[in-house]
Amino acid sequence: MAFCVPLIGAACTSKSDDKAAPSPSTTTSTSVGAPAAQPPAAGSGVSPAGVTTSVNAAPSSLEEEYYQACRAAADWMIGKQDGPVQLVEGYLQSIQSTGNVGPGTFHKSWHDLTADRQAAVIVATNAAAEQQCG
């Protein structure tokens, strides 16, 4: 079984096409469960208002998840007259403080997202503020 979480534009491959089966001595088993809630990663950026605006982790999302997160942020930004920085912080504050879940947070609350998923939400939000959801 292959787990695949590509970054935007990255390709995803599986070794399932290999002809040889792994030897029993090298086979390992890993339990896959829900990731534990994590505080912001060390080196995260927090605005004066207490909003996490950057996370020291590589963003991780599927292309469709990224697009949905970007669209959710863009929809929230419609009609607001702020500049991109204010739009990003405002949207991030709204998803971090309410606990609401939806496509903008990969259907989990902000605090239940791992650092790499929080980073992906922030990347999508910045793209939405620049009208680059695609």
pLDDT in tens, 81-119: 899 999 999 999 999 998 889 999 999 999 999 999 999
Domain spans in the chain, listed from the N-terminal domain onward:
43-129
pLDDT at 99: 83
- How far is the CA of 116 from the CAs of 5, 32, 41, 76, in angstroms? 11, 17, 9, 22
Average pLDDT score over residue span 107-133? 96
On the question of pLDDT at 43 being above 80, the answer is: no
Calpha distance 37→132 (Å, rounded):
29
Beta strands 45-46 and 52-54 are antiparallel
Backbone angles phi, psi at 75, to 5 degrees: -65, -40
The alpha-helical segments, DSSP class H, found in 1-134 are 63-77, 84-98, 115-129
Kindly report whether the global pTM for this prediction surpasses the value 0.75: no
